[in-house]
Amino acid sequence: MARSLIAGLLADGVPAASIRVAEPVGALRDALQNDFGVEVMADNPAAATGAATWVLAAKPQVLRGVCEALAAQVQCQQPLLVSIAAGITTAQLDRWLGGGTAVVRAMPNMPALLGAGVSGLYANARVDGAGRKRAEHLLAATGETVWLTDESGMDAVTAVSGSGPAYLFLLAESMLDAARSQGLPADAARTLVLQTLLGAARMLTEEDATPAELRRRVTSPGGTTQAAIDAFQAGGFDDLVAAAIEAATQRSRQLSLAND
C-alpha cells in the first residue's frame, strides 16, 4: 500500500525529492529507489526528520512499538500523522505518540495500485482544515476518498472496502471454476469472467441506477439469470454476505484491543 501511495503521489505531480521512505529491508529499499527515485532510508527517525506529514504504513501488530520509538520526535516536530493500519484507533496512536498529536486514520484498498482505490478517512480533533486537505490530497492520489464523522465506522470501512476486493476475487475464482466445470476452455472462461466483472463494475459506477435496478434489468422472469439468482438466494447469499462483513468488522475491532 505504501508503494501505491508513492506511485499515486508521483503521478499527481509530487516531486520524488519531497518523499522520504523508511524501509528496514535492504532489497526493498533498493527496489523503492529504483522504481520511484525517492529517498529511502533504513530507519524511521531519519526519514521523518523535518517532514510535515508522516504516513504510518506498518502492520497493526508492530505499530505501537514504531510509535513509541518516534514519540519524542513527534512531540518536537508536531507533524500530521496519517495511519493506514487496520483497527488501530486515533486515540491509541495519540497515546503511543505522547499526546496532543494530529492524527488521521485512513483505510485504503488494493485497487489503489491502479489509481482506482477508495479510502475511508477519520480525523481526530487536533487535525485542522489544512491537515484534512493534506490527508485528503495524499489519499486522493490513489482514488476516491470518504470522510467519516464517527470513528467507529472505520471498522466497517475496513470490512466493506478495505477487505472488499478479496470478496470479488473469491467470486471470480468460483465463477472460473464453475465455467471450467461446464466445459469451457480455461482461456475462454478467464476472458468471459473477468470482462463480465469489469463491465458490471463499470455499469455500477457509470449508470444512474441502483444495483437492484441493474439486476432487475438483466433478470428476465423465468430465464437463465433468474434461475441463478434463485439458487444464490436459496443458499442464503444475503445472509452470508452480511455475516462476512460482520466478521471482518469484528476482527478490525479485535485488532485494536489485541495491540493496545
Domain boundary among 99, 119, 153: 153
CA distance 54 to 106: 13
Whether residues 132 and 237 share a domain: the answer is: no
Residue 136, CA atoms < 13 Å, CB-side half-sphere: 14
| 158-165 average pLDDT score | 96
The helix/strand count (H/E) of the chain reads as 12, 7
End-to-end CA distance of the chain: 23
Domain boundary among 153, 181, 200: 153
Instruction: Render pLDDT for 3-42 as a digit per residue (tens, 0 to 9).
Output: 888 988 898 888 999 999 999 999 999 999 999 999 999 9
pLDDT at 131 over 90: yes
Q: Are 85 and 114 in contact (CB under 8 A)?
A: no
Whether residues 61 and 175 share a domain: the answer is: no
| 231-242 average pLDDT score | 97
DSSP state of 107: E
The C-alpha angle 68, 135, 50, rounded to 5 degrees, equals 55
Residue 158 falls inside a structural domain: no
CATH number of the domain residue 194 falls in: 1.10.3730.10
Whether residues 143 and 174 share a domain: the answer is: no
- What's the pLDDT at 258? 87
Residue 91 domain boundaries: 2-153
CA distance 78 to 102: 8
Residue 134 falls inside a structural domain: yes
pTM, two decimal places: 0.90
Residue 102 falls inside a structural domain: yes
| 72-81 average pLDDT score | 98
Length of the chain: 260
Mean pLDDT (the chain) is: 95
Largest CA distance in the chain: 69
Grid coordinates of 204: 455500477
Grid coordinates of 219: 433478470
Q: Are 255 and 90 in contact (CB under 8 A)?
A: no
Grid coordinates of 42: 533504513
